[in-house]
Amino acid sequence: MSADIAPLLYRLDDMSLSTTSRQLRPILRGFITHVNDFRTYLHHPELNLPRTSNSAESFIGCMEELLHRLRGVLSVDALEKWVEALVKYRQKIICNGAHQPKY
């Protein structure tokens, strides 16, 4: 973790301890715990990783459309199989890669 984000992470930690939201607390804690994973694009510029979550959001949109067409699934196992099938069908999600804005 770099020193420039440490104060921000401490502030997020305080927020996670003071929030009364059951949904927000684990999200904040997970982000704090895995912050380096979210910043992988900084540590490996040669991979041209996107600096936003557009790829994930695009895939989530594909999943929402699929689930709408299916009108739901009967089990977690069935959902996993549909997700695997969608990934195999789509094969890749294209994003701007190196053309993303620098932060």
Following DSSP, what letter does each residue of the chain receive, concatenated? --TTTHHHHHHHHHHHHH---TTHHHHHHHHHHTHHHHTHHHH-GGG---SSSHHHHHHHHHHHHHHHHHT--S-HHHHHHHHHHHHHHH------GGGSPP-
* Per-residue pLDDT tens over the stretch 30-65: 989 988 888 888 888 888 777 776 777 778 888 888
Cβ neighbours around 48 below 10 Å, total = 13
* Per-residue pLDDT tens over the stretch 3-25: 688 899 999 999 999 988 888 88
Asked whether residue 83 carries a pLDDT value surpassing 70, the answer given is yes
Distance CA 69, CA 77 (A): 18
pTM score above 0.85: no
Q: In the structure, what pLDDT confidence band is assigned to residue 102 with cuts at 50, 70 and 90?
A: low
